[in-house]
């Protein structure tokens, strides 16, 4: 073979080798990436080629599938009480992908998960149509209905947890949206999606998990726990040395109280009427570093919590000065939290100091109802001792019996709570947020802890209060859980 032909042969051989390498790279190394790529239409077509599994609450599906009569996408997702359950389910759309449980458990719901290989193989021989598996949630339908109804046309959120297990019982966010309105890919679906994207009230935002707020006076339970745990206070009924007015450390700024009788008020009395001065001073006495440690034990400053839907991280500033720490100790300044985080704080106190990791999926099931995965309760931390927790419980129960939380009372049930009215906006001129955290206690323990925030309402600024706006919602959610267990 002459030299030019040899060069051509070598060059062609290299091209063939490069083609083989490229082909193997695509088929094996990048196979999974390309198979699941968002621009691969085959993924979406496959997702809706068969009946999608359901998301289950109280043994009943809150989702469904209908024949869409479409040449590409055979089935379309449907939702029962879509706006109420959207913060839990998320959406599954032929045009706009999916999110939350619909996205995270897509493999189970479509039937493509490796754990469903046997079911897929069996259906090939039996001739049965392929079906997806089910996602069984921890949610309590009655509690969710009470939360959603209580929020009504107000902007806000509710998170409710079983303190003993960490199971999420309710997760409501308003305003909400109906995932059914854009489950397809028609012009009508596009119009609904665009309208949601442009809505200034952000109905697609999961406020219970993904929005952070100043917690206001609800954070005082954390400060109270820190004061007891670090030995600043030993007797909750003993007078403190709090002057009136109390001047923030290193400043000439007085701490404003919105309650009377705060001078030298005991810890118990200060929580009952919500004295800013007492808790700002206690936060300063505990010190920034110990306040940070306490907040972090409850879940602040931690990485995002996966429920499995990811919750935003709550924050307690690690670098602020003394006056900043004093303000943060009453839930203002840079302190920021999600409703889920405040439900976790309440749950840990109700559970005698043990914080359980929150989760909302109980089990994953195959189409023939075999359990593929069962989630078990998992301890997250022990922020405070049982003794401290029980003292904080006494104070929270006093708030409901004699203080600002009276509207959360439930006949025949011991309820602990704390109100909060969080200032925000430039120079605190925006309408305050109304908070309420609470738990219900029976002879067999505390089956529910709740956090409620109302961002906006029809009430005038002077009438906005955690006890007045958020307290009744928390009461109804707790009562729904208690009634469902009878």
Stretch 148-158: mean pLDDT: 96
Catalytic machinery residues: 217
Residues 6+ apart with CB under 8 A from 261: 269, 273, 275
- pLDDT recorded at residue 426: 44
Distance CA(323)–CA(284), nearest Å, equals: 8
Kindly tell me the number of DSSP H helices and DSSP E strands found in the chain. 18, 20
Give the up-direction half-sphere exposure of residue 290: CA atoms within 13 A in the CB hemisphere: 18
> d(Cα 415, Cα 306) in Å, to the nearest integer?
29
Model confidence at 431, pLDDT cuts 50, 70, 90, reads: low
The Cα 132–Cα 118 span in angstroms is 13
pLDDT band at 94 (very low <50, low <70, confident <90, very high): very high
**346-372: pLDDT as tens digits:** 999 999 999 999 999 999 999 988 899
pLDDT > 90? residue 430:
no
Cα gap 468→115, rounded to integer Å? 49
**pLDDT surpassing 70 at residue 142:** yes
Q: Report which of residues 123 and 157 the model is more confident about.
A: 157
Contact between 393 and 384 (Cβ < 8 Å): no
Say yes or no to pLDDT of 320 above 80: yes
Query: Which residues partner with 439 through β-bridges?
Result: 416, 449
Greater model confidence, 444 or 228 = 228
CATH, domain 211-367+376-484, list 3.30.70.20, 3.90.920.10, 3.40.710.10, 3.40.50.300 = 3.40.710.10
Higher-confidence residue of 462 and 1: namely 1
Res 93 pLDDT > 50: yes
Percent share of the chain, pLDDT over 90:
74
Confidence class for position 429, pLDDT limits 50, 70, 90: very low
Q: Give the pLDDT mean for 66-82.
A: 91
Work out the average pLDDT over 300-328.
94
pLDDT, one tens digit per residue, over 226-249 is 999 999 999 999 999 999 999 999
Q: At 66, is the secondary structure helix, strand, or coil? A: strand
Average pLDDT over residues 325-330: 97
pLDDT at 460 over 50: no
- Give the pairing type, strands 433-442 and 445-456: antiparallel
Mean pLDDT across 24-39: 66
**352 in Cβ contact with 165 (< 8 Å):** no
Query: Would the pLDDT of 457 be above 60?
Result: no
SS (H, E, C) 340-404: HHHHHHHHHHHCCCCEECCECEEEEECCCCCEEEECCCCEEECCCCHHHHHHHHHHHHHHHHHCC
Rounding to the nearest 10 degrees, give the CA dihedral for residues 471, 475, 478, 484. -150
- Check whether 34 has a pLDDT greater than 70: no
- Contact between 130 and 184 under an 8 Å Cβ cutoff? The reply is no
Alpha helices in 66-169 (DSSP H): 82-89, 100-104, 106-110, 117-126, 141-151
Task: Give the pLDDT band (50/70/90) at residue 462.
Answer: very low
Q: What number is the average pLDDT over the span 417-432?
A: 66
Give me the mean pLDDT over the 267-289 stretch: 97
User: Mean pLDDT across the stretch 175-180?
Assistant: 98
What's the full length of the chain, in residues? 486
> Which one is predicted more confidently, 445 or 480?
480
Q: What is the pTM of this model?
A: 0.89
Name the nearest CA neighbour of 309 among 125, 479, 166, 171: 171
Q: Measured between alpha carbons, how far is 349 from 306 in angstroms, rounded to an integer?
A: 21
Rg (CA), the chain: 27
């Amino acid at each position: 073979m002459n030299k030019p032909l040899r060069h051509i042969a070598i060059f062609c051989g290299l091209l063939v080798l490069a083609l083989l390498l490229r082909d193997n790279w695509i088929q094996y190394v990048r196979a999974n990436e390309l198979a699941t790529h968002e621009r691969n239409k085959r993924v979406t077509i496959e997702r809706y080629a068969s009946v999608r599994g359901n998301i289950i609450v109280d043994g009943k599906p809150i989702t469904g599938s209908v024949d869409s009569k479409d040449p590409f996408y055979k089935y379309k997702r449907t939702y029962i009480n879509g706006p109420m359950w959207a913060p839990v389910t998320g959406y599954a759309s032929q045009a706009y992908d999916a999110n939350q449980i619909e996205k995270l458990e897509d493999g189970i719901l479509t039937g493509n998960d490796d754990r469903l290989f046997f079911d897929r193989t069996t259906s090939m021989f039996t001739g049965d149509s392929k079906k997806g598996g089910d996602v069984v949630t921890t949610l309590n339908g009655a509690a969710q209905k009470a939360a959603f109804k209580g929020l009504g046309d107000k902007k806000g959120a509710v998170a409710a947890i079983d303190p003993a297990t960490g199971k999420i019982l309710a997760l409501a966010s308003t305003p909400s949206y109906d995932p059914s309105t854009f489950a397809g890919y028609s012009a009508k679906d596009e119009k609904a999606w665009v309208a949601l994207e442009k809505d200034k009230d952000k109905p697609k935002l999961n406020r219970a998990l993904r929005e952070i707020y100043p917690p206001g006076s609800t954070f005082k339970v954390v400060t109270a726990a820190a004061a007891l745990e670090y030995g600043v206070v030993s007797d909750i009924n003993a007078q403190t040395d709090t002057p009136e007015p109390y001047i923030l450390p290193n400043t000439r700024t007085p701490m404003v109280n919105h309650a009377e009788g705060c001078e030298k008020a005991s810890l118990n009395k200060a929580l009952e009427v919500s004295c800013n001065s007492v808790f700002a001073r206690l936060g300063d006495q505990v010190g920034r570093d110990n306040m940070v440690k306490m907040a972090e034990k409850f879940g602040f400053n931690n990485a995002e919590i996966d429920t499995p839907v990811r919750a935003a991280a709550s924050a307690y500033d690690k670098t602020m000065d003394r006056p900043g720490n004093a303000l943060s100790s009453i839930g203002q300044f840079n302190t920021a939290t999600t409703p889920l985080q405040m439900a976790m704080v309440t749950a840990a106190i109700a559970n005698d100091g043990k914080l359980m990791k929150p989760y909302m999926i109980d089990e994953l099931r195959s189409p023939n109802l075999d359990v593929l995965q069962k989630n078990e309760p998992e301890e997250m931390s022990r922020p405070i001792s049982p003794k401290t927790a029980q003292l904080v419980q006494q104070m929270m129960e006093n708030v409901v019996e004699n203080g600002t939380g009276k509207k959360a009372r439930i006949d025949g049930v011991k309820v602990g709570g704390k109100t909060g009215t969080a200032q925000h906006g430039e120079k605190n001129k925006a309408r305050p947020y109304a908070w309420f955290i609470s738990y219900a206690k029976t002879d067999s323990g505390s089956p529910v802890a709740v956090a409620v925030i109302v961002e906006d309402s029809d009430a005038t600024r002077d009438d906005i209060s955690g006890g007045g706006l958020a307290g009744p919602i928390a009461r109804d959610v707790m009562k729904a859980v208690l009634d469902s267990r009878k």
